[in-house]
């Protein structure tokens, strides 16, 4: 009998031959280790903890995000509104992220003055001129913007030239091709949890309560989290489907990558309020957190993050990092 450490730093028991129950260990009906009897130990084995393993659910460990090479300007975006009817709801705002740039460069436009918000969004689109915009349930957000552009007569001349990609349709069909499918796409929250082990910081109910109290901060934080999530979903989709060789992250230790970025003048600062990691210019001051918009400390040798994410283990999926 041997002990194997899994990625959660728990111990699993592997039996070399037929199943033989070990004293002090609890099993399910399939022979999976479910737990241990407290304070039990012997010379043969000491078990600290063990995960529950279901024969019906795929085992899964959320992976670090990947960054493939991109061939055009791609903006991940999401809007927030007060309803589902274009004629009845109020557009509260939205966030936009060029996914070739750090998440900290994401721009958000929010307010209760709908005309002012849509003018800010139009100014952004006219300035950035995206070739592709990606979202989850894209049609809703396209209409949210287009109806307000028309209502307030705000021009975006390149609107019809923009290509749109909908991650909800991708997850429903398994492709960007136009095929019919009865497969349920699943919720955006479910995909964030499945792919990255992440969840949104506020529920819809909490968002509505904030709006009723004229407080848009929870709405903005959740919205920016959605944009970050859908952007990384699209990058991951491109990484596994693109036919051309992609520039995958190299296999240097994370701390080396961060040190090299610092040499180029980019520092990582953790937000003291929501713990989000922000990439800022090392010489900059008075920065705002990309997620919660609170002030973050000015970069110093004492507060610059040295390491935040484990390197992506390409061997897990049979790939080899380039570079």
Topology annotation, domain 74-241: Nucleotidyltransferase; domain 5 (3.30.420)
Place of tokens 């001051």: 285
| pLDDT value of position 177 | 84
Place of tokens 């022979």: 31
Low-confidence residues of the chain: pLDDT under 50: 1-19, 38-51, 246, 248-251, 308-312, 314, 317-319, 321-323
Task: Name the pTM for this structure.
Answer: 0.65
Each residue of 179-205: pLDDT tens digit? 888 888 889 999 998 888 888 888 989
CA R_g for the chain: 24
Please tell me the distance from the alpha carbon of residue 314 to that of residue 239, in angstroms, as a whole number. Answer: 12
Output DSSP code: residue 141: H
CB atoms within 10 A of CB 107: 19
5-28 residues labelled b (16+ CB within 10 A) or e (exposed):
eeeeeebbbeeeeeeeebebbeee
In the chain, at which residue ranges do the beta strands (DSSP E only) sit?
A: 2-5, 11-14, 25-27, 33-36, 74-81, 91-98, 107-110, 132-135, 163-166, 266-270, 277-281
Question: Structural domain boundaries of the chain?
Answer: 1-59, 74-241, 254-317
């Amino acid at each position: 009998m041997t002990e194997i450490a899994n990625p959660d730093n728990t111990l699993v028991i592997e039996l070399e031959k037929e199943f033989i129950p070990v004293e002090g260990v609890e099993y399910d009906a399939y022979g999976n280790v479910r737990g241990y009897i407290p304070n039990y130990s012997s010379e043969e084995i000491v078990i600290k903890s063990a995960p529950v393993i279901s024969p019906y659910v795929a085992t899964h460990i959320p992976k670090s995000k990947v960054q493939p090479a991109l061939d055009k300007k791609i903006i991940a975006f999401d809007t927030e509104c007060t309803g589902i009817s274009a004629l009845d709801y109020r557009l509260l705002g939205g966030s936009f992220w060029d996914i070739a740039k750090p998440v900290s460069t994401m721009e958000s436009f929010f307010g209760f003055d709908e005309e002012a918000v849509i003018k800010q969004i139009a100014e952004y689109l006219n300035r950035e001129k995206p070739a592709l915009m990606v979202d989850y349930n894209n049609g809703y957000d396209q209409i949210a913007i287009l109806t307000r552009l028309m209502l307030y007569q705000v021009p975006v001349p390149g609107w019809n030239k923009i290509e749109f990609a909908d991650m909800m349709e991708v997850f429903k069909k398994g492709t960007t091709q136009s095929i019919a499918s009865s497969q349920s796409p699943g919720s955006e929250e479910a995909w964030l949890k499945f792919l990255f082990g992440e969840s949104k910081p506020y529920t819809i109910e909490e968002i509505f309560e904030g709006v009723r109290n004229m407080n848009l901060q929870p709405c903005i934080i959740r919205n920016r989290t959605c944009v970050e999530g859908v952007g990384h979903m699209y990058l991951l989709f491109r990484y596994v489907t693109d036919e051309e060789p992609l520039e995958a992250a190299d296999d240097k230790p994370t701390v080396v990558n961060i040190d090299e970025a610092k040499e180029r003048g980019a520092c990582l600062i953790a937000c003291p309020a929501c713990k989000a990691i922000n990439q800022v210019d090392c010489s900059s001051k008075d920065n705002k957190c990309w997620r919660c918009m609170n002030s973050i400390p000015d970069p110093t040798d004492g507060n610059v993050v040295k390491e935040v994410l484990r390197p992506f283990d390409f061997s897990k999926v049979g790939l080899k990092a380039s570079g």
